[in-house]
Structures are given as C-alpha cells and as structure tokens.
Amino acid sequence: MNLLELAAANQLDLTHEKKKLSVSGQVRDTYDVYAIPLKYLYYNDQNGRINTTYKKYGAEFGELEPEAGDSEYNNVFEKFIFDSNRQALKETAQSIKVKSQQEPGVVLPDGRVIDGNRRFTALRILQKEDNITKTFSAVILPLDAKADEKKIKELELDLQLGREERVSYDPIDRIFDVYNTIVVEKLMTTEEYKKASGAGNTKGINRDIRLAELILKFINIVSPSEDSEEKQIDKFYLARDLKLDGPIEEIEGTINKMNSEHKEAATDAVLVHLAVLKSDDEKKDATRMMRDIKTNILKDPERLDHYVKAVDAKVDVIMDAFEEYPINSANDIKVVFSRDEGLQKSAATLKRSAERLVHRGKNDSKRIKALAKLENILETLEDMGPEDFDELTVDERLEAKDVIQEIKDVVFKLNKDLIE
C-alpha cells in the first residue's frame, strides 16, 4: 500500500488545504493535504515522545511489527499516547468532534504518522465510539522511513520543538532523544540538532548528553549486563519510571567538574545512594538529598574524601547485589533490598554516613555563608558563555555590558574591603 499511489489514482480526497513544511532535499515547501482513512495509518515507533515507553513495552512483551489499521501495534501505541496525557487527549477529541480536525498532520507513503499522534489517536477513539469511518487530514511526504531517517528526524524536531507553539518533551524522553539521535544513531551533530529543534545554542544539548551518560552509569549499576551500549540504552525507560531527571540534573554539573582522584568512586557512591533512596518506602525527596550531598559533600574536598572512604565497602556490597539481581522494572529495586537483611543494613549505614556529613556541612555553611554565596555566584558565571548572548538585541547587549560593569564594581569594592 502506497498513499502517494492512491492519491495519484484519485482514491484519496483532497481537503483543499495546504501545509508549509521545510524538508531537507525537497524543492517545494507547500504540500497538498489529503483526507486519509485511518485504516491506512500506523504510529511512528521512532517518535521521540514515546520512544522510552515503547522500549519498556518491548522489554516486557517483545517488539511489535508496525501494522496499519485496527492492529495490536496501533492499539498498544494508542494506549501510550492516551496514558501520556489523558486530559489533553480528551480535549483534542472534543475539539475534533465539535470543530473537526484543525491542523493537518504529516505521514509517509507507507502510512507512518510522523506528526499528529494526538490527533490521530483522538480520531481513532471517536471512530470506535460512533462506528463512523474517520479520516486523518495530512500531508503525504515522499520520503522513506529508512533511507530518509535523518530528514524525518529533522522534520519531527522542527514540528514538535522548533515552532512557536512547541510543547517540550518529558525531561527523560528529551535526554534520551538527544543522546540516541546524536551519540548512538549518529543521525545528527549537536549543531544540526540545535538547528532542527530551535534551541538557542548547543549548551543544553551537550548537557543532555552528559545527563544521559550519567543515567546510563546508574542503569549499569542497577541493571548490569554484558550488552552493548546500544542495548543498554533500551533500558532508559528505567530512568523515567524511577523519576531520575530531578536527582540526576542536580548532581551532573558538580560531578562533571570534579577533577579529583575520587571522581569515579564518588560517582558510584552517589548513584548507589540514589538507588537506595528509590528503594525506600519512606518516599524521601531524592532530588533534595542529591542537592544536599552535592552542596555539603561533593563540593568540599575534605568531606568528600571522608565520604568516599566511609561508604566504599557498602557501595561494593550493594553493587554486588545488583550484579546478582539486575532490575528490569522500577519495582524490582525494592525487591532487591527486601531479599537480604544484611543488604538493608548496608544501605542504612550508607545513608547515615551521608546524612552525618551533610549535617556537618550545613553547620559549616552557616559559619561561612558569605563564602558559599560567592562560590555559587562564581559557579553561575562560569556556566555562562558568549553563545548565551547570541539572541540579544543591540540594546540588550549594551544593557548586559552595563550589568557586567556593575558586577565588576561590586567585586572591586568587596575585594578592597577584604584586603583592608
């Protein structure tokens, strides 16, 4: 089945709408919109918004062969889309019911839906409700899912992130998509991803790559295997289920800047501590604890040294337990600890060691509050670069220069007061 052939044979109705698209290698930028029966269409399993969800499904039940119409494949993906944001889906369905589909989607000749998952899902639900055949208004792009993978990815990013009405990905889905596209699949460079997604600069994209690397370190601790990196990344769904975005984002910058001999040991210790927190029924705020460890331990060489030595043996015990019982779901992490009372004691000792050092750090920070403020200001300024000012207007650049001069004046005065 080829939708372009059906269109050429007048078997698909034109809607008399036009849609503008910027597609690499395509001469035209305005395309006809067709009313395509839902039976010809299927979801895109490479869509960045639902890729990690499908990886989880695949790990539990195996991957499905893409198939159009009322197939098991489409039914599974329909549930993914519905569960991702039920309220938004209901609103879309109601809008289509009252006003019809307002914004055309984008599909490939084989029926793969590149843009318009929510609209496609809403139409599928409405068709099941009233048993009246529905059509999906969409452009049919003359591209191939395999041969034109990069072009399709560029278009997906432009449509989903690069427009004014863009809606951000879930943080874990975003991190996965950046890493998978640039590092694993090597479809794009960071610069190309920036351009396609409408990002102001590559700094956030490079940070997402570092976040992904740290998440993969966590996954390799709690679910170690002999698999290649390409297979391990399939377990990225664990990061979403365990809600790792907040805690990982909290510690990434500090770990990335560490040059000490303790960097590898400290990273393992913090990630193992995070695993312990995620196994805890007390539901402690993992992000806040990671922030406390970052501020009061990782940034202080003396406390860091003590921390690494104090928890080293416990970290090894816990990592060995995951070697024996690697997890495949978020709930498995609790099961691992429930198996062994000795393991629970190791986890409790690790937590107490960190909590004592955090408490000591907080007491010290009260005494050196001014110094801590200066260090935070320095860290913020160090994170800034020339590219952060690229989108400023001429007047805004002049204003920025004035602010920098004011900062210099304040620093000069503070420095003078300290010397005197």
pLDDT category of residue 229 using cuts at 50, 70 and 90: low
**DSSP H or E stretch at residue 112:** strand 112-115
Instruction: State the pLDDT at residue 418.
Output: 75
Instruction: State the pLDDT at residue 159.
Output: 84
Residue 373: pLDDT over 90: no
Residue 367: pLDDT over 60: no
42-43 sheet: strands from edge to edge: 13-20, 30-37, 135-140, 105-107, 112-115, 42-43
Residue 162: pLDDT over 60: no
Comparing 107-111, 224-228, 293-297, 341-345, which segment has the lowest mean pLDDT? 224-228
pLDDT category of residue 165 using cuts at 50, 70 and 90: very low
Cα–Cα distances (Å) from 65 to 126, 147, 148, 205, in that order, read 25, 19, 20, 32
**Between residues 27 and 85, which one has the greater pLDDT?**
85
Comparing 159-163, 169-173, 229-233, which segment has the lowest mean pLDDT? 159-163
* Token digits of residue 153: 């990815």
Comparing 132-141, 233-242, 280-289, which segment has the lowest mean pLDDT? 280-289
Q: pLDDT (tens digit, 9 = 90+) per residue, 244-261?
A: 999 999 999 999 988 877
Instruction: State the pLDDT at residue 281.
Output: 66
Instruction: State the pLDDT at residue 372.
Output: 61
Q: pLDDT (tens digit, 9 = 90+) per residue, 202-215?
A: 999 999 999 999 99
Contact (Cβ atoms closer than 8 angstroms) between residue 151 and residue 24: yes
Q: Is 140 helix (H, G, I), strand (E, B) or coil?
A: strand
- What DSSP designation does 85 have? -
Instruction: State the pLDDT at residue 168.
Output: 62
Instruction: State the pLDDT at residue 198.
Output: 83
User: Between β-strands 105-107 and 42-43, what pairing exists: parallel, antiparallel or unpaired?
Assistant: unpaired
pTM: 0.81
Instruction: State the pLDDT at residue 73.
Output: 95
Instruction: State the pLDDT at residue 243.
Output: 92
pLDDT category of residue 112 using cuts at 50, 70 and 90: very high
Instruction: State the pLDDT at residue 396.
Output: 86
Could you give the CA distance from residue 49 to residue 265 in angstroms, rounded to a whole number?
34
Summary mean pLDDT of the chain: 88
Q: pLDDT (tens digit, 9 = 90+) per residue, 295-346?
A: 999 988 888 999 999 999 999 999 999 999 999 999 999 999 998 899 999 9
pLDDT category of residue 133 using cuts at 50, 70 and 90: very high
pLDDT category of residue 374 using cuts at 50, 70 and 90: confident
CB neighbour list of residue 187: distance below 8 Å, 6 or more residues apart: 149, 150, 153, 181
Contact (Cβ atoms closer than 8 angstroms) between residue 236 and residue 328: no
Instruction: State the pLDDT at residue 266.
Output: 94
Q: pLDDT (tens digit, 9 = 90+) per residue, 48-96?
A: 888 888 988 988 898 899 999 999 999 999 999 998 888 988 999 999 9
